[in-house]
Structure 1
Amino acid sequence: MKRSEVPSLDDIRAFEAVARLGSVKAASKELALTHGAVSRRITKLSQEIGVLLSEPDGRGIRITRDGEILSKAARNALDELSEAVATIKQDKNNTPIVLSCERSVAMRWLIPRLSEFQDRHPDVELHLSVGGGTLDFRRDKITLAIRRLDFPLSPDWKVEMLMQEKIGPVMKPGMRVHFDNHNYIGLSSRTRPDAWKEWSSQQKSTPKPREIRSLDHHFLMVEAAANGLGVALCPYVLAIDDLEKGRLVAPLGFQEDGSQYGLIYPRNLSLTNHIHLVRNWLAEISAGV
């Protein structure tokens, strides 16, 4: 028999349910169909095959010998289909989630909090990748990405805001006197070379650095400040833990610079339960920044 000649799956499901449960009433309840709809599907199936599949038996129904053969084959086929669908869903939900994050944000903020997520959701396989700027989700096999939204965003992406960028000078506690006396080295990152110039133009009454030195990455800049090498003009998200521990102080606080960090993923991404857990957790820990 050609595949095109195989009867409707809906009709087969209706007949298999009647044969398995022993009545049209029980089958109609399981399938959420009316009694008449189930009966019509069985009649249609019998006509297509050209054999009698069932016959009245008092107030009930009796499956014929041919019907028994078909019902057994249908049950086996439907069981295999159910197992295949369950396997696909399970495999999809268990696919490792690759979260891409800017290097400094990953090192100074995300990684110190990842153990909390793993303890809470040990069954979620979350992998961390570092990177900045624009994205190619398919090429780089990335599921989700955390980025400072300072580059063009594709219309094919979904963007969920996580937190505002806040900037301010941070320093080792003992550096405060030098800061107040304008006798300090300003530390910056090569990725934002004009940060001190822009900040100074907006904070005209604040102490200006006597010299500015650049480091390759923000995480190096913050660590240099914590070790007394100067004052870092730093995003709050990168300094939050050291501020709480007292390694750094921020005498002028932090000001929003108009930019944000966002969670980015393809609009066509299938959002599994595990992905929802990651999204919700990121929103939760971002709320305190």
Structure 2
Amino acid sequence: MKRSDIPYLDDLRAFETTARCGTVRGAADELSLTHAAISRRINRLADMIGTPLFERSGRGLRLTTAGDQLADVCRRSFDDLSRTIATIREAQVTEPAAILLSCERSVAMRWLIPRLSQFQDAHPEIAVHLSVGGGPVDSKQNRAALALRRLDFEIASGWSVVPLFDETIGPVMSPDMRSSFDQGDYIALGSNTRPDAWDDWLRLHPDAPRPRERRMFDHHFLMVEAASSGLGVGLVPHIVALDDINRERLVAPFGFDPDGSRYGVLHPSQIPLGKDASLLLDWLRDRSRDI
């Protein structure tokens, strides 16, 4: 078959949309055409191929065997076209686009932001826009180039994952609280995002002193600041307490235990990572080795 014998693209679009919508009216609405225009294009396509593509089924339409075969090919071809055009458009950006990096709030505030200037100093030509967010990422709604997440949820289709480090948690406190902690005279600070964390940790450490009271915070970064200020003992991920431990604002007498989850970076699998985003991803992997 010669390329000149291939049907008009408009006819194929009208046919594929009708097959997908199930009605000519639905296709007309989607393509912003009249009912008559859709019907003309489908009839012209059927005449060119030499066989009917639809048959009546009650008040609706049903694909013929030939129509079903053609609809499947059209659907896959249009999907390939959409992906290819999106990739080409991404490659045609003449000015370096800012990288959108989404990160969980506590990790952003307690670990990422204090280090991000290191990346900016090394790559002043790369702009990084930071947003905060947690949990699942919807590839249809959120087109962040990179998303730093605790991987405790099902990864949506369309996202690739680059593992970074294992999550570990443990109790932290100001040095002045250590004696009260050892005597069991302390307030246990917890996070509403992980309400069972203290129960799990105490079961893992049956010889550890029990708290006299518990108080909950909305976020780990608030809990760490409360622990640093002497309000109690916070059970926190290592990553959010790391800098305060290094500065000796906090101590962690029991260390940190793995909780079975990991952190990683997600990025849209159908959009190739550009050079700048790849540099940022490599930097994140390098910095995470210190955790």
Same fold (TM over 0.5): yes
Q: 2:218 aligns with which of 216, 219, 222?
A: 216
Q: 1:96 aligns with which of 98, 121, 141?
A: 98
Whether the 8 Å contact between 2:166 and 2:262 is mirrored in structure 1 is: yes
1:214 corresponds to which letter in structure 2? M
Question: Percent of aligned positions with the same letter in both sequences?
Answer: 52
1:216 corresponds to which letter in structure 2? D
Measured in 2, the distance between the counterparts of 1:218 and 1:224 equals 10
Measured in 2, the distance between the counterparts of 1:173 and 1:138 equals 47
Measured in 1, the distance between the counterparts of 2:142 and 2:269 equals 17
Structure 2 unpaired stretches of 5+: 5-88
- How far has the Cα of 1:136 moved from its partner? 1.8
Measured in 2, the distance between the counterparts of 1:113 and 1:197 equals 33
Q: CA-to-partner distance for each residue in 1:40-75, whole Å, 9 max, x for gaps?
A: xxxxxxxxxxxxxxxxxxxxxxxxxxxxxxxxxxxx
Measured in 2, the distance between the counterparts of 1:267 and 1:288 equals 27
Structure 1 unpaired stretches of 5+: 5-86
For 1:180, the equivalent position in structure 2 comes to 182
The number of residues matched between the two structures is: 205
For 1:288, the equivalent position in structure 2 comes to 290
1:153 corresponds to which letter in structure 2? I
Measured in 2, the distance between the counterparts of 1:134 and 1:212 equals 29
Measured in 1, the distance between the counterparts of 2:139 and 2:96 equals 19
Show structure 1 runs of 4+ deviating over 4 A: 87-90
SS at match of 1:140: coil
Measured in 1, the distance between the counterparts of 2:270 and 2:98 equals 17
- How far has the Cα of 1:140 moved from its partner? 3.0
For 2:232, the equivalent position in structure 1 comes to 230
Measured in 2, the distance between the counterparts of 1:157 and 1:121 equals 26
1:166 corresponds to which letter in structure 2? T
SS at match of 1:285: helix
Measured in 2, the distance between the counterparts of 1:244 and 1:137 equals 37
In structure 2, relative to structure 1, the CA distance for the partners of 1:88 and 1:221 (3 Å cut) is: closer
Higher gyration radius (CA)? 1
2:284 corresponds to which letter in structure 1? L
In structure 2, relative to structure 1, the CA distance for the partners of 1:154 and 1:213 (3 Å cut) is: same
Measured in 2, the distance between the counterparts of 1:182 and 1:88 equals 58
In structure 2, relative to structure 1, the CA distance for the partners of 1:90 and 1:241 (3 Å cut) is: farther
- How far has the Cα of 1:142 moved from its partner? 1.3
For 1:270, the equivalent position in structure 2 comes to 272
SS at match of 1:277: helix
For 1:189, the equivalent position in structure 2 comes to 191
In structure 2, relative to structure 1, the CA distance for the partners of 1:176 and 1:88 (3 Å cut) is: closer
Structure 1 length-normalised TM: 0.68
SS at match of 1:252: coil
SS at match of 1:139: coil
1:162 corresponds to which letter in structure 2? L
Measured in 1, the distance between the counterparts of 2:120 and 2:286 equals 15
Q: CA-to-partner distance for each residue in 1:217-239, whole Å, 9 max, x for gaps?
A: 11000000000000000100000
Whether the 8 Å contact between 1:109 and 1:237 is mirrored in structure 2 is: yes
1:267 corresponds to which letter in structure 2? S
Q: CA-to-partner distance for each residue in 1:226-253, whole Å, 9 max, x for gaps?
A: 0000000010000000000010000111
SS at match of 1:98: strand
Q: 1:118 aligns with which of 111, 117, 120?
A: 120
For 1:131, the equivalent position in structure 2 comes to 133
